[in-house]
Structure 1
Amino acid sequence: MDLAYFLRLLFRNWLLILISLIIGVAAAVLVTANTPPKYAAAITMMAKTTKVNKLDVVTPVSLQQVKSYANLLSSRRLISRIVDTEAEISAVQQNIAAQAIPDTLLLQATVSNADPVRAKQLAGALGVEFAKMVDEMERLNPKKPSGVTVMVVDQPTVPSAPVSPRPLVNVAYGALIALFVGVGSIFLRDRLDTTVKSSEMLQRLSQSYTLGLIGYEKAARRRPLIAGDGASSPRSEAYRSLSANLRFIDIDRQRKSLVITSCLPHEGKSSTAANLAITLAQAGRRVIVIDGNLRRPRMQDYFGIEDMVGLTDVLLGKVGLGEAIHRRVDLGLHVLPSGQIPPNPSELLGSRRMGHVLEELAKSFDMVIIDTPPLPAGTDAATLAAACDGAILVVRYGKTRHEHVLHAKELLSSVGARMVGTVLNAVPARARRCDDGYGHGAESQTKREAMVPVSG
């Protein structure tokens, strides 16, 4: 996965990122608003010595002593001198920060409290009691003065502004955490999601060209054919791009028959077969579409054919081929429906008679389009693909998994059939905008996509 892929992934999920940021910022504002303010008052002291050795030289206070004094500043023993109850002692102890300023004899204690005046009072009292405690601890002889004294360098003052909460910092942290969680969840979901969601991924899996991206439209289930759509409708343009890309596959070899199949049911292979046939017919080619799905035929309903005579009757020798073919003058194409559903569709489709039918139709038409069942449903699709010039695999966006495409590729390869390309169907508008190679009416771009070899 390269940087461009991740950028497209983020762009496709920009709304989730925005919602995460809004929630993060709102949570930070809510926490800030409900956090009581705290004020901090600081007192700075210095420990100095009056100890004199035998040579009348003043012995300085060691830095180690100063560090020990810093720990004493937050001790319960000292705090119990400035407050009375056990609860107050614990509360004050949790809100005292004491430190020995490095490489100096200075000590600093910061006391936090919800009341700025109280914070100043506690810090002042702490300084007074600390000086007394040090004097007591360092006094070896009760009758003699202590060798160490503590003097206040900076007296505490009443703080004018709270030290917490900090609105800007909280909002920044909230936004960063939300961004991290949002982007992280997008990448995690992408890693765990093995469905096909880009033409680039589909090309890598199938090791074939992505011939077209068909957009998702709610009305497609009610009106599967593009015959009623305008010439400039997104679906019509998508199928024109698909039919145009077919011309760039093996230019030196003229393909007369193509099987349209899929990895799973309900991926749109039947509507793709019908609309591809319509588009090729609109381009002036003599086209016939065969309903080779003898398990769940759809072409009869799509094209409004009431006669039950079809492919099954031809293969059983009940009628001649010409009698079973229906012409749709308004669409400029011919249709060979499935006919009666037989108990043994695989045997019929793999028969010699089926091979003769395909040969005869290939002589009479420029293109023979065959709709078949999904590949895993039986040997029907693979058998017909081996008998034709190639197969187009229809993959549904966000439904077909990587392993499904790989399995379909293996099934076609096992019978010597060639996958000439794939179609990514039901692609949402936001995904089409991010997917390279898609564009309404962008003929040069779709040509380039169809002819670029698959890397790796």
Structure 2
Amino acid sequence: MEETLSLQEIAKILKKRLWLVIFFTFISIGISAGISFYALTPIYQAQTQILVNQNSSSEGVYSWQTTETDLRLINTYNVIITSPVILTPVIDALNLSLTPAQLTQQIFISNENDSKVVTISVEDSNPSMAVEISNKVAEVFKEQIPQLMSVDNISILSAAKLSENPTPVKPNKMLNIAIGGIIGLMLGAGLSFLLELLDMTIKSEQDVEDYLGLPVIGIVDLIKEEKQNRFSFNPRKARRS
């Protein structure tokens, strides 16, 4: 019974200050939309795929030994790709005003389980630059790995290409607007409950029992002004009569 009453009170409070909830919701949505569309810089992504695959004259040996070796080397390759020994030549070749540590923050390496395909993803505010960095990292890595690991098992499977109409991967505008709406809704509801909690004025007989702990014996209803005029004494009419 108490739980049902509590839910009823919550609904009553929200209905009472529904304008406040709606106001904060729309304000938050507007702010989120403004930031997403005009303040945040669009980020584009380019991907280059490389294949870790050793050449072997014996198919049987390739199946059991070289494949296992390539898969084990992939974790090492993932670290080498984002190391200064690879990124420094990339920075010099593209004349980037970045340090290897800063460029590392833009590069993401991934590969599926038991797959010898490694994906190099690069994010940048310039879609053309993202493509150039992604391809250059793959090229430099392919050139340097024979000297670093004494093995030549890297080939570029798919180079990154610049599309005619690049689509940014960040920010997710619709998601930001939805999150902004939820935050505004929560702020409006929270403020409604806070105002209701701070409002100690007595408005009903139930408030008397809740706040003062006194039983309500009777209620005096409001007397309308029309009734007061009807029963008021008029001395002029009394004299005429």
Q: Which residue of 2 aligns with 1:208?
A: 215
Provide, for residues 397-454 of structure 1, a one-character-per-residue CA deviation record: whole Å limited to 9, x for no partner.
xxxxxxxxxxxxxxxxxxxxxxxxxxxxxxxxxxxxxxxxxxxxxxxxxxxxxxxxxx
Change in CA separation of 1:14 and 1:86 when aligned onto 2, cut-off 3 Å: same
Match of 1:266 in 2: none
Residue number in structure 2 paired with 1:10: 14
Aligned to 1:185: 191
Q: Secondary structure at the match of 2:91?
A: coil
Q: 1:40 to 1:86 in 2, by over 3 A?
A: closer
The answer to whether structure 1 residue 133 and structure 2 residue 144 are counterparts is yes
Counterpart of 1:78 in structure 2: which amino acid? I
What is the count of residue pairs matched by the alignment?
218
Given the alignment, which residue of 15, 24, 28 partners 1:24?
28
Q: CA 1:59–1:4 in structure 2 vs 1: closer, same or farther (change >3 Å)?
A: same
SS state at 1:101 partner = coil
Secondary structure of residue in 2 paired with 1:82: helix
Partner of 1:59: 66
Match of 2:85 in 1: 77
Q: 1:168 maps to which residue?
A: 174
The answer to whether 1:109 aligns with 2:113 is no
Amino acid at match of 2:88: S
Q: Which has the larger radius of gyration?
A: 1
Q: What secondary structure sits across from 2:226 in the alignment?
A: coil
Task: Report the Cα offset of residue 107 of structure 1.
Answer: 1.3
CA distance in 2, matches of 1:131, 1:213: 92
Whose strand fraction is larger, Structure 1's or Structure 2's? 1
**Residues 1:155 and 2:166 aligned together:** no
> Which letter does structure 1 place at the counterpart of 2:50?
M
Amino acid at match of 2:89: R
SS at match of 1:49: coil
Rounded Cα–Cα distance in structure 1 between residues aligned with 2:76 and 2:182: 39
Match of 2:226 among 227, 230, 234: 230
Task: Decide which structure has greater helix share.
Answer: 2
Rate the CA distance shift 1:100–1:56 in 2: closer, same or farther, 3 A.
Answer: closer
Higher relative contact order (CA 8 A, sep 6+): 2
Secondary structure, aligned partner of 2:51: strand
- Percent of paired sites with the same residue: 15
After TM superposition, give the deviation of residue 83 of structure 1 in Å: 1.0
Render the CA deviation track for 1:314-373: whole Å, top value 9, x for unaligned.
xxxxxxxxxxxxxx746xxxxxxxxxxxxxxxxxxxxxxxxxxxxxxxxxxxxxxxxxxx
Q: Matched residues in 2 for 1:56 and 1:190: separation? A: 77
Unaligned runs of at least 5 residues, structure 2: 235-241
Matched with 2:108 is 97
Contact 2:91-2:98 within 8 A present in 1 as well: yes
Whole-angstrom CA distance in 1 between matches of 2:226 and 2:73: 90
Shift in CA distance, 110/211, structure 1 to aligned 2, threshold 3 Å: farther
Mapped partners of 1:59, 1:87: distance in 2: 40
Q: Which residue of 2 aligns with 1:367?
A: none
1:110-139, CA deviations, whole angstroms, 9 ceiling, x for partnerless residues? 111222111111111111112223222210
* Residues 195 and 117 (structure 1), Cα distance of their counterparts in 2 relative to 1, 3 Å cut: same
Q: Could you tell me which of 39, 47, 57 is aligned with 1:42? A: 47
TM-score, normalised on structure 1?
Answer: 0.42
> 1:42, CA displacement in angstroms?
0.8
Aligned equivalents of 1:30 and 1:23: distance in 2?
Answer: 11
Query: Take 2:141 and 2:221, find their aligned partners in 1: how far apart are those partners?
Result: 79
Give the CA RMSD over aligned residues: 3.4
CA contact (8 A) 2:52 2:70 kept: no
Q: Contact (CA 8 Å) 2:53, 2:70: kept in 1 or not?
A: no
Deviation at 1:176, TM superposition (A): 1.4
In 2: Cα distance, 1:25 partner to 1:213 partner: 47
TM-score between the two structures when normalised by the length of structure 2: 0.74
Whole-Å separation in 1 of the counterparts to 2:217 and 2:78: 72
Unmatched runs of 5 consecutive residues or more in structure 1: 140-145, 216-225, 232-277, 283-327, 331-456
1-structure distance, mates of 2:87, 2:218:
79
Q: In structure 1, what is the equivalent of residue 98 of structure 2?
A: 88
Please say if residues 43 and 126 of structure 2, whose CA atoms lie closer than 8 Å, have aligned partners that are also in contact: yes
User: 2:135 matched to 1:124?
Assistant: yes
Deviation >4 Å, runs of 4+? 50-53, 188-191, 210-215
